[in-house]
Amino acid sequence: MYFEGGFNKDSSAEYALDLDHELNIRATIPAVCGIIAPPFMVVLWAIASFLRPGYNQLAQKGSELGTRPNSIIMNLNFAITGTLIIVFALGLIGQIRDRNWSKIGITLLIVCGVGEAITGAFPCNPGCPATGSFSQNAHLGIAVIFFSSIAIAPLIIGIGLKQDQFWKPYRTYSIVSGLAGMALFVAFSIALLSPLQSVGLLERLFLAVPFLWIELMAVHAIRHSLF
């Protein structure tokens, strides 16, 4: 808007405030999705477990809740949690100032979100064996992609946080989380291939690491959008 010889300063200032507000909203929504994702997953997982008589949290995999009675709860859990992770990861693209490592890590986070979201469309056979129907084999392939990408993503993103002063305090934590997640992923994989009755426990310990990382990174992202 013009007035006799130039821009209307009040209008320009108002436009700048509106733009800042819009950018803050765009940054806040993905962060909120990241904050919601971990507790949402835990709550629906707990509900699905409660509704499955005889389900053993220490010995059975989470995917086993995606088949047989009340499977809709766990499959919705996969779809919604995966979508929340995708939105959170997309929000990080504009917040972290790194063109290399972090971009790769964020891409892995998006991949893991997509894998989580579509897992429910391919439920495993009862007991989730190593081989079986087309749906079982597809589920296994998607699970491998999901588990490996969510294990590595914190490490790769952490390496790229060195150049960003706002995110730099989370660099060491991200790297440690990535290394811990990878180690637990290996332990979980070994348990899957052995007669050990601790598959469920190791799966939960493994997933706790990257999902806690997502939660804390999302909380920090909220601060980035507000200040």
* Beta partners for residue 7, in sequence order: 2
- Please provide the average confidence, as pLDDT, over all residues in the chain: 87
Determine the Cα–Cα distance for residues 172 and 177; give it in Å rounded to an integer.
Answer: 8
Q: What is the pLDDT of residues 58-72, one digit of tens each?
A: 999 999 999 888 899
Q: For residue 44, is pLDDT > 60?
A: yes
Rounded to an integer, the average pLDDT of 35-49 is 96
DSSP states of 22-87 as a string? HHHHHHHHHHHHHHHHHHHHHHHHHHHHHTSTT--TTTS-GGGGGSSTTHHHHHHHHHHHHHHHHH
Higher pLDDT among residues 223 and 144, named by residue: 144
Rounded to an integer, the average pLDDT of 159-166 is 88
Q: For residue 143, is pLDDT > 70?
A: yes
Q: How many CB atoms lie within 10 A of CB 55?
A: 14
The structure tokens 């979100």 sit at: 113
